[in-house]
Structure 1
């Protein structure tokens, strides 16, 4: 099996993370004001769930406590700014995601926190395990955010007179 030095893995994972983050920011900024539907909201977590196949490889496996902690941190902490920053509005007969001025700053802030946590956590577990933990954290974040978006979307589609300007409106 091919072996890489830990410093090479660290640099590679950081560069990879930055490329993915910049790509996500660019894609996200271009998709605002395009009509959304249930499929467009729910497919990303389903697609991302295939990443759990990484845990077939023993090097990526972590304890249930690490996995649960990562998922709950993503669900309760990291998803919160995304949920608060995502709003829907009507555009004619379509429902679109309203452009949030803070969304770019939220993504950059979450990226910075993730980079800082990465340095801390990799002191306790291996680099592949750190990747697994952060995948679970990202999945918890995305899943909670998309479920919240879906609930907002369903409210708007069930009553055409409702115009949700904020996710906390219930």
Structure 2
């Protein structure tokens, strides 16, 4: 029970941190580096799978990543860019906060439900994969949107 409460508090802290990071990022121009670094940094967490308690089956990997991709649609829809001057900025979405906390609540409910039948290590591994699948697909979509605007900006500047 302690680990469930501790991990829930940690997830809530990360969600609040994400909100502040996102609001701060909207004040500076976006870049490919700023879009791609978060999933790259997060990927180091996959080292948990070296340890047997965290290892999951291929079916569990597919399930967790699939749910993450589905969850990412909400983040993708709330992520928009705009050209200001000669730079591209991420537009802060008013719905982002609600989406992030909504996804957090769904993840907690799923964790409580799955925690009854799956070990703590496997649950941790699956929720890491869910979050990674969500962030990776969200960031790939952001990169696509960014590159589209970057091409528009380059075409405009070339004229």
Bucket of the pairwise TM-score, normalised by the shorter protein:
over 0.9
Q: Deviations over 1:74-114 (max 9, x none)?
A: 11x10001000000001111100011111111101111111
In 1, the alpha carbon distance for the partners of 2:6 and 2:84 equals: 42
TM-score (norm: length of structure 2): 0.92
Shift of 1:144: 0.6
Contact 2:65 2:133 in 1 (8 A): yes
Match of 2:98 among 95, 105, 126: 105
After superposing on structure 2, the runs of 4+ consecutive aligned residues of structure 1 that deviate more than 4 Å are none
Whichever structure has more helix as a proportion of its residues is 2
1:80 — aligned with what? 73
> Which aligned pairs between 1:58-73 and structure 2 lie closer than 5 A?
58-73=52-67
Match of 1:14 among 5, 8, 19: 8
TM-score (norm: length of structure 1): 0.87
Q: Identify unmatched segments of 5+ residues in structure 1.
A: 1-6, 163-170
Q: Identify unmatched segments of 5+ residues in structure 2.
A: none
Secondary structure of the structure 2 residue equivalent to 1:71: helix
In 2, the alpha carbon distance for the partners of 1:11 and 1:159 equals: 47
> Which aligned pairs between 1:20-169 and structure 2 lie closer than 5 A?
20-75=14-69, 77-160=70-153
Using a 3 Å threshold, how does the CA distance of structure 1 residues 161 and 37 change in structure 2: closer, same or farther? closer
| Number of residue-to-residue matches in the alignment | 156
